[in-house]
Structure formats: structure tokens, C-alpha cells
Structure 1
């Protein structure tokens, strides 16, 4: 009996050893069944490029008041060099001194001798330009300016005064900078101005505004470009929250228009003029915007689909209506077009885009063989032509600049000409300066 029990124990122990080995092997060799998870396909909504503030918010002219003479330039090269220099400055003690400046003092502060005016095409918020210039102050004024004035003859100890001016409203903010910056400023801006810039003359526009124009004829280059066309479907993916819900329908008798709609938003595409107009009616609002917020969200919105197809720059802003316009520039000059293809227009709701109007093409290949130099009239001739217009009121003349008129070639729809000509802003609208005997100017906005 004892033998049977011992035999049973031996057999049981052997079985346990074998079972343990089997279990160990299973543990070592076990491979779970993995469930293959398909990666959700992401839609690439990148169209062209992103932009920084310093690319979008730029001055459009420099005026150097050297004694009684005034020299100016709209040159991109000169403006970029100046701003790059000023990026190295540290500005401090920014304060509003508007109440301390009389009208006579204001004109002398801005246009007097021994100062440099840096002009912007529209009002620019301090908070926005903090991304370009270095401000020591942590809290900047919630204000805007449309020109910076460097006053060369006004020093206080070892500091120099810089003024940020909102011209029409006569608002002046003063800032300080170390006068050590003037060594380079004198060498690279003031001294070369009389040789490298054009001589300008002043024009008193109704007493409240002084404009400066070139005294001599200006040579400008006319360009021709092959255009690059972007698929409107890329904007569909960028603008609609769920592109799969969008219905695309042809419009017009010849199918020259298309309509994209998802039940709440609408995008119309003009295939002839290569324009698209997007609207989201649910975002409409009557609430105004803070200028810096409007610039920031408008830039971020286009950056999200990398929609900067050309050298677009901030050209006008209306915070009360939440409207903002970026315009193509060529060699530092704004480009105009009767159909609006040279600009990006945005109108915002409280938190979302309400309207978005733009072209879906861009300047692609410049044709060197098609470029030619054109001599534009002097500033005197421009003013003379304007003053001959019926009912012209100098007090309503806001600005005069050289720009480019963009037109499509009659025989080749992908070829566009950029023709230099004079433009003027009158009662808030930009128009071509009429040529002597050439009829009425063409309104553009």
C-alpha cells in the first residue's frame, strides 16, 4: 500500500512538472492578436505660405527732412534696411503727449527740419508692432499710429525722442531710445538720402494735411507675369468645417461660376476672374474689434491654410466694422485691380470669419523679356491734373502714391500686366490719377 501511494505521488509530481513546463512555454511564446487600427486620413489644406507680422505690416515710404530739403523713397530695399536697423533699438517710456502739442507744434514735430518720417499705409497698433520693434515697457498703449517720426535735433541727456503719430487724429505718443543708435542711423539713412533718394516737395492739402511728392519724373518698371492657379477645392477643404458635407453646383448659363454650400456656409467661385467669395451668415455681428486682435486673427486665419499666395501686406483696417484688407505689393508698391483680384478682404464676426473674398491665383513667373521702363509724371503734374478735376476739394485728398494696375491679357488669359501709374486716395476711395486729356479717373474701391 505504501508503494502505491509513493508511486502515485511520483506520477503526480511528474505531471505537475510537465504542466508547469507547458504553462511556462505558453507564457514565453504567447503573442496576442493585435487589432490593426486604420490611420484616419488627414486633409492637407496647405495652399501656399504662412506670414509673420513683419512680412504683413510694413511702412510704404521714408521721408528724410534734411534741413529745408526733403528726400523720400518707397523702395522696399531701403525700408527693409531701416526697419532691420530699428529692430536693434530698445524703446522705453512710451507716453501719450497729445494734449501737450498744439497744431503748430504738431506740424513742426512731424514735418519740421532734421527728422525722418516713416509712413504706414494704415493705422498700426502698438501691440501688433511689438513683434517687430523691441519695447522695454511691458504695458503698451492700446492705441494705433500710422507713422513713426525720429527727431534728430531733440536730445535729452543721452536719449533721443521717437514719436508714434496717428496723423488725422493728431494723437502723438513719445518714446525714448539711447542716442547711441544715431551713429549708424546717420551713416546709413541721413547722409546717403540726398544721393540715393528722390527730392520731394510739400503740398498743403486743405490745411490739415501735408503731402510730399517727388519733384522729378519717376522711372518705374512695367512687368508681365504668367499666373499660377490654385484649385478652389483646396479652399473648400480649408473653409468648411466638414468638407464631406459640401455640395458643389455649377452656376450661370456657361458654367463660369460654381457654388459650394454645406447648409450654413456658402462659397461662390468666379472661374472667369478667378475670384472666390465665402460667407458664413451665422457669424455676422455688429460688435467692433480691437485693432490688434483683428490683425492677429486675420493673419492666423490665412496662416491656417497657408493662403498667402503673394507678397500681401496690410493696406486698410476698419475695426468698427471688423473689416481688414491685405493687398499684393510689387517692389514695395501696392497693386490695384478693378475686379479685386489683387487683395484679400476679410470681415469678421465676434469669433469667426463672416466674409472672405480673394483670388485663387497668384503671380508666378515674371517674363524678363516683357519688362519695360516707364517714366511717370512728376508730383507737380499729378497735383495739377487733380486740381483740374470738377469739384475737386484738396481737403478731401488723403494720399498720393505710385501703384501698379493689374490687367489680364486680351489674347492670353493666364498672362497679366502690372503697369505702374499714380493713384490717389480721395474721400476714402483709391482711384487712378487722370492723365491729361484722358478722361475721368477709374475708381477702385
Structure 2
């Protein structure tokens, strides 16, 4: 009897010990250092930006009777936007039903057109803060081309079109009118530069697929690989800007990252590739957020902590994912990297609050090329790019959405004691929503 009693007590102790150990395992958290902070304060990590600086085209073309000229030059595009800033567009009207896909193609690429190309589709209402419209309630459409019809006149008014071009399941055409004198003045200024200025090159039309014609340069071009020094940003600034109560945040460090967390939010600083990620796990992405609200919220959010540290521009809007991306630009060419979060500011939004925020943890400082000889890079012509894409059996041209020159950002490990990056020009193509590099070494034999 005594033996049975001892056995029962021992079994009870073992069960209790097992429950205790299981509970400790489930509730274990690594040791976090308490962040010494007593109150939140206003933070300005970099700069605030206006819509005009962030929502911009990245190519401009002139369609003449005999040739197509174009330029990605930022100064040329700024001249167009500056002249438009004095315009007031009137009589905005959705005339999408009047156009088939093929007719939209003719509208965009016919002679007598100036074409501004945007990296992705944008809500027309968001552009109301960039250019003046008379109407308060604009058509609820999106666009990726701004077309100036130099030959079309309606009475004493010039015609401008906002067009969604090249998408499989959507098409939009919004017609607007502008004072004829302003259009004539704009035409005189622009056409002369497009035909005779060295910033413009000759382009040809590449019918990439059944939906879209892409414009590519006729000749090779010389560009330079550029080396930049960088400045790391301060984790404390993001801590104060992103967490509701910084005093409750705890820190844990590993060899590759710093982790900051409170009861509802988590921020990771990847010290290996110098990117930052902030997430509210309890906030679900808002799949019903409009493109207009996505643009508005994203700009206000980054402006709230002065988070524009380099030349970023709106590059991708995906309302079905409640996701928006602002990409780093250099000399008006997009900058890409093999590592997510090093060349783009990405946001995913929940209802009225941010779900995820990913961005570079550094900013470009000084052009370091003065300390080393610049490396000239010959970029092949558009004909070479066309041939490479057509001959690649792994590429279905129906999914090629855009082609552009961009810079690839890579860390220069020849200077391990300094944070230096090389930005090397190359061809890129947008394939099923993703931008991929077309390696120059594969184009040399073509």
C-alpha cells in the first residue's frame, strides 16, 4: 500500500514537471534589451515629397510621320511637366467604349502624337494633384499613357488623352481639352527638341505581343557604371517613427540582423544587406482598397517620417494585393537589385493602417567614381534585345510587358571597410509583373 502511494506521488510530480516544461517551451521568448526611450518624438529621416515628384513618367516619345524619337532624360520630361503645370484641363470624359484595343493602339502610336509612358497604371484621380482639372469628380479610371494629339482640335481646344494601354482585361480612354494656345506653344517647344536635341534618339516599334507595341532605341549607347558611397540610417529614428509606444519596444541582435518588437509590431534590420522590414502581424491586407487610396496613404505614411532618402518614384500599384512600390531611380533609370528591400520602398496596407513596410536601410551619398576610373558600358541596341527575347525559348513574348534600361546595384567588396555600391547599366524586361535583367554577356554574340 505504501509502495502504491509513493508511485502515485511520483507520477503526479512527473506529470506536473512535464506540463511546466511544455508551458515554458511554448511561451519562451529570447532575451530582448529594453530600449531606453521615455516618449515619442517627431522624426525626419530624409525628406518629404509631393505627388509631382513621385508620380512621374519615365519615358517620352514623339511620333513623327517619318520617325519616332524618344528620351528617358529626366530634364526633358521635367520640361514637359513644367509646361503642363500651367494648364487647366477641361471636359474630362470617359470615351473608352468608343475604342477597341486596336484603335487604342492607333491612338497611342499614330503620327502627330507625344507619348508620356508611366511605369505602371495609375488612378486618374491621383494625378489631379499633379495637373489641374476643372472637374471635381473625374472618371474613375486608370491610365499608363498620357497622349498629346498635336493634329486633333475641337473648336479652339487642343486634345489630351489619358489611356490605359496594353492590358489584357482592361482598356480606358479619357479625353480632356486644353487651351489651344497652350497646346501650340507646347508643340513648338517640344517638337524642335525631339527632332534636333542630342538627348533624343531614334526608336523603332517592336510588336512584342498582341496587346502592346514597345519602342526601343535603334542604335547602341554608351553609359557608365557609377560607384556610390552610402550612409547607414539610424534604427532609433525608425523605432520612434513606426512604433506607437517606443518605450515598450525590446531589442535582440544576431550576427545578421537586429530585431525590435513590442506586443503588436515587429521591425527587423538586416545588417548584412542593409534593408529594413516593419510588420504588424495582426493587421490583414485590405484587398478592397482602391488604387487612389493606396497612393494617398502610401505617400502620407512615408512623408510622416520624412522617409524619402533617395530619388524614389512610384513604380508599381497592385490593389488586389493592397501593395505599392516606389523604386529608386538614378539619372531617370530604375535601379534594381537581387535582394528585396535594397532598391525599393514597398508597402502593403490594411484597413487604415500599414501591414508591412520594407525599404533600404541606407541612402546613397557621394559619387565615388572620382577615386577610380569610370567603367564605360556599351548598351546594345533595341534590335539586339528584340532578337535575344525572340530567340529565347524560355520566354513567351505574350507575357513581356515592358523593356527598359536600368541600373543593377551590387555591393563593392573590394573595399570591405566601406559601404560602397556599384550601379551598372543593363537591359531589363518586365515579365508577368516582374522585372528581370537581360545579361549583357548573352547579347554580345547577337
Deviations along 1:163-219, one digit per CA (max 9) or x if unpaired, are: 100112221111111111133212221122122210000001122210000001122
Distance in 2 (alpha carbons) for counterparts of 1:58 and 1:395: 26
Residue 297 of structure 2 is matched in structure 1 by: 297
- With over 3 angstroms needed to count, the CA separation of the structure-2 counterparts of 1:332 and 1:437, relative to structure 1, is closer
Larger Rg: 1 or 2?
A: 1
Residue 282 of structure 1 is matched in structure 2 by: 282
Matched, 1:400 2:398: no
Q: Which stretches of structure 1, 4 residues or longer, exceed 6 Å deviation after superposition?
A: none
Alignment RMSD:
1.6
Post-superposition shift, 1:230?
0.8
Unaligned runs of 5+ in 1: 1-39, 440-445
Residue 118 of structure 1 is matched in structure 2 by: 116
Distance in 1 (alpha carbons) for counterparts of 2:67 and 2:50: 36
Work out which of the residue numbers 83, 86, 105 in structure 2 matches 1:85: 83
- With over 3 angstroms needed to count, the CA separation of the structure-2 counterparts of 1:135 and 1:286, relative to structure 1, is closer
Matched, 1:416 2:421: yes
Distance in 2 (alpha carbons) for counterparts of 1:278 and 1:375: 39
Deviations along 1:97-154, one digit per CA (max 9) or x if unpaired, are: 1111133322211111111111100112222111111111121112211110001111
Unaligned runs of 5+ in 2: 1-37
Give the SS at the match of 1:374.
Answer: strand
Post-superposition shift, 1:68?
3.1
Distance in 1 (alpha carbons) for counterparts of 2:389 and 2:441: 10
- Structure 1-normalised TM-score? 0.86
The number of residue pairs the alignment matches comes to 397
- With over 3 angstroms needed to count, the CA separation of the structure-2 counterparts of 1:385 and 1:304, relative to structure 1, is same
Distance in 1 (alpha carbons) for counterparts of 2:436 and 2:243: 35
The 8 Å contact of residues 337 and 410 in structure 2, kept in 1 or not, is answered as: yes
Post-superposition shift, 1:408?
0.4
Post-superposition shift, 1:368?
4.1
Distance in 2 (alpha carbons) for counterparts of 1:342 and 1:285: 23
Distance in 2 (alpha carbons) for counterparts of 1:44 and 1:292: 27
Distance in 2 (alpha carbons) for counterparts of 1:181 and 1:211: 29
- With over 3 angstroms needed to count, the CA separation of the structure-2 counterparts of 1:52 and 1:216, relative to structure 1, is same
Give the SS at the match of 2:294.
Answer: helix
The 8 Å contact of residues 58 and 313 in structure 1, kept in 2 or not, is answered as: yes
Distance in 1 (alpha carbons) for counterparts of 2:343 and 2:357: 14
Give the SS at the match of 2:52.
Answer: helix
Post-superposition shift, 1:420?
0.7
Moved more, 147-156 or 427-436: 427-436
- With over 3 angstroms needed to count, the CA separation of the structure-2 counterparts of 1:256 and 1:436, relative to structure 1, is closer
Residue 439 of structure 2 is matched in structure 1 by: 434
Deviations along 1:274-318, one digit per CA (max 9) or x if unpaired, are: 111111012113432111111111111111111111001100011
Matched, 1:99 2:97: yes
Residue 11 of structure 2 is matched in structure 1 by: none
- With over 3 angstroms needed to count, the CA separation of the structure-2 counterparts of 1:41 and 1:250, relative to structure 1, is closer
Matched, 1:386 2:389: yes
Give the SS at the match of 1:130.
Answer: helix
Residue 54 of structure 1 is matched in structure 2 by: 52
Distance in 2 (alpha carbons) for counterparts of 1:358 and 1:151: 39
Post-superposition shift, 1:41?
6.5
Give the SS at the match of 1:386.
Answer: helix
Deviations along 1:25-71, one digit per CA (max 9) or x if unpaired, are: xxxxxxxxxxxxxxx96624211111110111000000100113100
Work out which of the residue numbers 208, 212, 217 in structure 1 matches 2:211: 208
The 8 Å contact of residues 64 and 193 in structure 1, kept in 2 or not, is answered as: yes
Moved more, 201-210 or 41-50: 41-50
